[in-house]
Chain A
Amino acid sequence: MRIAILIVLSNFYCFLFSQTSGLVLDENQYPISEVDVYISDLNLLIQTDLNGEFYFDSYIIDNTYVQFSKYGYSSKVVKYQNNENFTIILRQLHVKLDEIGIKESSSILGNNKTINIENKLLKNNFVSSTSLVESISRLPGVQMISSGLGIQKVVVRGLSGLRVVTFLNGMRISNQEWANDHGIGFTDLGLNDVELIKGAASLKFGGEAIGGVLYFKDSPFVKSTIPSGFIASKFDNSHVLFSNQFGMNWSKKSFFLNAYGQHSASADYRLPDNTYLFNSRLNNQSFKLAMGILSNDIQTIFRYQYNADNLGIPAHVHGGDLTSISIDDLTSDFLILSEDFKMTRPTQFINNHLFTYETKYRLNNINYSFFAGHFINNLQEYDKWTVPAFDMDLSTSTFRFNLDIPFSYIDINTGIQHQIQSNFNNITDRLIPDANTNESGVYFIVNYDKKKLGFNSGLRLDYKKIMCSEYSFNKSFLSFNTSHGLFYKLNDNVLRMTYSSSFRAPHLSELFSYGLHHGTMRFEIGDVNLQVEKSHQFDLKYQWNDDHFGFVVNPFTQIINNFISISPTDGFYNSIYRIYNYTQFNNVQISGCELNVHYHPHFIHNLHIEQSYSFINAQNKDNDSYISRTPSNKIKTTLNLDLSQYNILLNIKSFTIYHLYSFAQTNISLFEESTNSYNVLNMDLFLEPFKRTTLVIGANNILNEEYVPHISRVRDVAGGVPNPGRSFHVSLKYDF
C-alpha cells in the first residue's frame, strides 16, 4: 500500500514540477513564432512564443508524435525522445502543398507516407466556405450530391452513401446514410481537419468502406488558463443564409475544456434566373462539448455533440414522368422573408446525439487505447403536415480497443471492435423494418517506415449479423479486408502503391426496403437475397516537387463484384410513383486518374497556382454499360495571392480565385440523361481589419452560370434544377 502511495505521489510530483520545452528555428537559426505544436497523443495544441520557444507543463513521453506546422513553412512530425535536444528546424517554403497530399503530418487513419491519405484543414471553414461539404468537394476526386445547402453529402471517386464511411472523433456516423436525401449529419462546428482515404486502405476504421473513409477531427485542446475562443457570423445572399458560431477553450492544470455552438437558418436559394427553388430552406442548431484530462501517462476525453437539422426537401413532385414537370411548378418568383424561413412540406427533422469516451494509456512504450461511442439518430420525414411518412430511431454503440506498439522503424497496430446497432420505427408506416445488427471486427496492421522506404500491410476480419423478426431474417456475413502499401522516396520523387480489398455486407435498406420514399420520390423494394459486395482497388501515386513547382499523378482502378445498385423498373406504385428495385451487378469497374499541379512563379513570390484534374470512368462489365450518376470529369483551379506582408487597405491578407470546369457527362446508363459542361468562378478576399478579427468578403458563381451537376439530387426533375446563381457572402470572426 505504501509503495502504491509513493508511486502515485511521485507521479503527482512529476506532473507538478516537470516541464517539457523546445525551440523552433528556421534554416538561418532565427526563431519562428506562432508555430502550431500539436502533441497528437494528447490531442493538445500549443504555440511557440516570440523567441520560438514552447513549454508544456508536463513531460512528454518518449516516442510521442509531435507535429510542427506554420503556414509558409514545411511541416514536420518528430518522435519525441527525452534525452535529445528538442530543437526543430522548419524550412521556409515557396510552394505550399498541403492540399495535394505531400505535407508530412500525423494521421489517425494511418501512416500518411505508406497510405494515400489526404488532409484538409477545416478550422477556419466557417468563414472561408459556404458549407463543410462544399469545402471538402474541392479536393481532387471528391464531389458532392446536393440540393442547396441543406442536403449535401460527399462522393469519393463516384461512390457515396454506405460505401463512404464517415467518422467523427472516432465514431462512425450512421444516420440512414443509404439515401441521397440524407445528408452528412453535422456541420463544421469545432472541427479542425478531415482526413480522407479514397478506397478501402484504412483497416482500423475501414470495415465496409469500399469507397473511402472520411475522418473528421475536432479542434485540439488549447492550453489557456483564461477562457479563449471566438465568435463568428456569416451571411450569404443567394440562400439568405444567416449563420452564427461561437467557441470557447479553457484549461486548468491537466483539465481541458472546449465548447462550441451554432445556429443557422436559410430561406430558399436563388437560381440564376432570379427565381427561388421552393423548400430548399434549412434550419440548424448544434452544440458541442469536449472535456479532457491529459496527464502524463493517461489521457481521457469525453465528448458530446448535438445536431438538429430541419431540412426542406425541394423539387418534390408526385411521381409520374419527372421530365414533364415544369420548373415553374418548383420555384417561387419571389421570397417572402416572414414565411420562407419556416418549414413547409416535405421536410426532414433530424436530431443527432453523439457521446464518445476515449482513454489512452501508455506503459512500457506500448499505447493502449479504448474508445466507446454512442450515436442516436432520429429521422422524421414529413410529406404531410400532421402524419410523418417515417419516423426512425437508429442507435449505434461502438467499442474499440487498440494496441499500438512502436519500435524504431516498425509500428504494429492491432485491435478489436464491436458495434451494436438498432433500427426502430416509431410509427407503423415504414420504409425499412425494425432490425438489430451486431458487428465485430479484428484488425492487425504493420507499418515499416525508414526514411526513404516504407511499407504497410494489414488484415481485417469483420463478422456482421443482421436480425429482423418482421421478415424472419437472421443472417450472418463474414467480410475480409486487406491493405498493402509501399512507399519509396528518392530525392524529390515520391512513389506510393497501394492494393486494398474490402467486403461490404448489404444494409437493411438494401435488404428490406418496401415502401414509398418521399425524399427520393420513388417506391423502393429491397432484396433479401443480396450477397456481400467485394472490392479490389489498385492505387498508384507519384509526386515530385521542388521550390517552385510540384505535381502529383494518381491513377487508380477498382473492381467491385456483386455491386449493389437501385434500378428503376417500368412499374408504378398507385400509378404515380415509379418502382425501384435493389439489384446486384456481377462486375463493376471504376477507373480513373487524379492529377495535381502546384506552381509558384519565381517572379511573383506571393502567387500560388494549384490545379487538379479528376477523371473517372465507371462501367458495368455485365452488359458494358455505364453506371448511373457517375460524376463528370473536373478541372479545379485555385489562385491564391498572399498579401499578408503588405499593409493594404483594411489589412488585406489574401485574395483567392477558384474556378471549376466540369466536363459534359455523356457516359450514362440506360434511363439517364446526359448533362452539359459548365464553369463556376468564385472569389474571396481575406482581411484583418482589426486585431484578432478576420473578415471574408466573396462571391460564388460570379458568371451566374446556369448549371446542373450530373450527381445533383434534383437533376431528374424538370430537366434538371440548376444550382444557385451568383451569390455574395460576408463572414466575420473575432478571436479572443
Chain B
Amino acid sequence: MKYNFLLLLAFLAIFFIACEEDDHDECQECHVLCALDDGTTHEHEIGEFCGDDLHDIEANGYTLPSEMTIKGVTYEAGHVFAPNELCCEAHGHEDDHDH
C-alpha cells in the first residue's frame, strides 16, 4: 500500500512538472498578403516585429513607410494593409535543398 502510494506520488510529480507553460517568442517575421490575378496569394516579407510593435501591426494594420512594388503592383507610402492582410505565422523547417 505504501509502495503504491509513493509510486502514485512520483508519477504525479512527473505529471505536473511536464505541464509547462506555452511561451512564445515575441519576435516574428511578418508578411503582407497580396491577392494576385491568377487566384493565388503572394506573401511579401516586411521584416521582423517584436513586442508592442508586433501587437500594433496585428491590431491596427501596417502602414507602408515608403512606396513599394509587389508583383507589379505599386503601393504608395502611407498605404495601410489591414490586420487581415498581414500574417506573422511561423512556417515549417526546410532542408537547404528542395524536396
Interface residues of chain A, those whose CB is within 8 Å of chain B, are 226-227, 229, 231, 242, 244, 246, 248, 261, 263, 265, 268, 275-276, 278-279, 283, 285, 310, 316-321, 324, 328-336, 342-346, 383-387, 516, 572, 574-576, 734, 736
**CA of A408 to CA of B9, assembled, Å:** 50
Given contacts A283-B22, A385-B24, A386-B58, contact A244 B89 (CB under 8 A): no
**CA of A257 to CA of B42, assembled, Å:** 57
Complex interface: chain B residues within 8 A of A343 (CB):
22, 24
Complex interface: chain A residues within 8 A of B24 (CB):
342-343, 385
CB distance from B31 to the nearest CB of A (A): 9
Given contacts A246-B15, A265-B18, contact A320 B94 (CB under 8 A): no
**CA of A231 to CA of B28, assembled, Å:** 40
- Are A574 and B85 interface neighbours, CB within 8 A? yes
Complex interface: chain B residues within 8 A of A278 (CB):
90-92
**CA of A331 to CA of B93, assembled, Å:** 8
Chain B 43-99 residues near chain A, CB threshold 8 A: 43, 54-55, 58-59, 82-95, 98-99
Given contacts A226-B1, A318-B43, A385-B58, contact A342 B92 (CB under 8 A): no
- Are B8 and A248 interface neighbours, CB within 8 A? yes
- Are A324 and B40 interface neighbours, CB within 8 A? yes
CB distance from B38 to the nearest CB of A (A): 8
- Are A345 and B41 interface neighbours, CB within 8 A? no
- Are B59 and A244 interface neighbours, CB within 8 A? no
- Are B41 and A275 interface neighbours, CB within 8 A? no
**CA of A285 to CA of B16, assembled, Å:** 10
Complex interface: chain B residues within 8 A of A334 (CB):
93, 95
- Are A384 and B7 interface neighbours, CB within 8 A? no
CB distance from B78 to the nearest CB of A (A): 19
CB distance from A571 to the nearest CB of B (A): 13
- Are A231 and B7 interface neighbours, CB within 8 A? yes
**CA of A231 to CA of B9, assembled, Å:** 10
The 29 sampled A-B contact pairs (Cβ below 8 Å) are: A246-B11, A246-B12, A263-B19, A276-B92, A319-B41, A324-B39, A328-B94, A328-B99, A329-B91, A330-B92, A333-B93, A333-B94, A335-B93, A344-B90, A345-B89, A345-B90, A383-B89, A384-B86, A385-B54, A385-B58, A386-B55, A387-B55, A387-B59, A576-B41, A576-B84, A734-B7, A736-B4, A736-B7, A736-B8
**CA of A736 to CA of B84, assembled, Å:** 54
Complex interface: chain A residues within 8 A of B4 (CB):
227, 736
- Are A231 and B8 interface neighbours, CB within 8 A? yes
Complex interface: chain A residues within 8 A of B7 (CB):
231, 734, 736
- Are B28 and A385 interface neighbours, CB within 8 A? yes
Q: Which residue of A lies closest to B60 (CB)?
A: A387
Given contacts A330-B92, A736-B8, contact A342 B22 (CB under 8 A): yes
Given contacts A285-B19, A387-B83, contact A333 B41 (CB under 8 A): no
CB distance from B34 to the nearest CB of A (A): 9
A contact patch SS: loop
Q: Which residue of A lies closest to B56 (CB)?
A: A386
**Among A285, A330, A332, A386, contact of B59 (Cβ-Cβ < 8 Å):** A386
Q: Which residue of A lies closest to B35 (CB)?
A: A575
Q: Which residue of A lies closest to B33 (CB)?
A: A318
**CA of A576 to CA of B35, assembled, Å:** 6
Complex interface: chain A residues within 8 A of B93 (CB):
332-336
Q: Which residue of A lies closest to B5 (CB)?
A: A227
Other contacts beyond A246-B15, A263-B15, A344-B89: 9, CB < 8 A: A231-B11, A279-B90, A319-B41, A333-B99, A385-B24, A386-B58, A572-B35, A574-B35, A736-B4
Q: Which of A229, A231, A278, A572 has the most CB of B within 10 A?
A: A231
Complex interface: chain A residues within 8 A of B28 (CB):
385
**CA of A206 to CA of B89, assembled, Å:** 41
Q: Which residue of A lies closest to B18 (CB)?
A: A263
CB distance from B97 to the nearest CB of A (A): 9
- Are A229 and B8 interface neighbours, CB within 8 A? yes
- Are B58 and A387 interface neighbours, CB within 8 A? yes
**CA of A491 to CA of B99, assembled, Å:** 63
- Are B99 and A384 interface neighbours, CB within 8 A? no
CB distance from A561 to the nearest CB of B (A): 36
**CA of A244 to CA of B63, assembled, Å:** 48
Complex interface: chain A residues within 8 A of B39 (CB):
320-321, 324
- Are A384 and B83 interface neighbours, CB within 8 A? yes
**CA of A100 to CA of B26, assembled, Å:** 52
Complex interface: chain B residues within 8 A of A261 (CB):
12, 15
**CA of A242 to CA of B33, assembled, Å:** 37
Q: Which of A229, A318, A333 has the most CB of B within 10 A?
A: A318
Q: Which residue of B lies closest to A736 (CB)?
A: B4
**Among A275, A283, A316, A576, contact of B33 (Cβ-Cβ < 8 Å):** A576
CB distance from B96 to the nearest CB of A (A): 9
Given contacts A320-B40, A345-B88, A386-B59, contact A244 B15 (CB under 8 A): yes
Complex interface: chain B residues within 8 A of A387 (CB):
55, 58-59, 83
Complex interface: chain B residues within 8 A of A324 (CB):
39-40
Q: Which of B1, B18, B26 has the most CB of A within 10 A?
A: B18
**CA of A320 to CA of B87, assembled, Å:** 15
Complex interface: chain B residues within 8 A of A575 (CB):
35
9 closest Cβ contacts across the A-B interface?
A332-B92, A575-B35, A278-B92, A736-B4, A386-B55, A384-B58, A321-B39, A320-B41, A333-B95
Complex interface: chain B residues within 8 A of A346 (CB):
89
Complex interface: chain A residues within 8 A of B55 (CB):
386-387
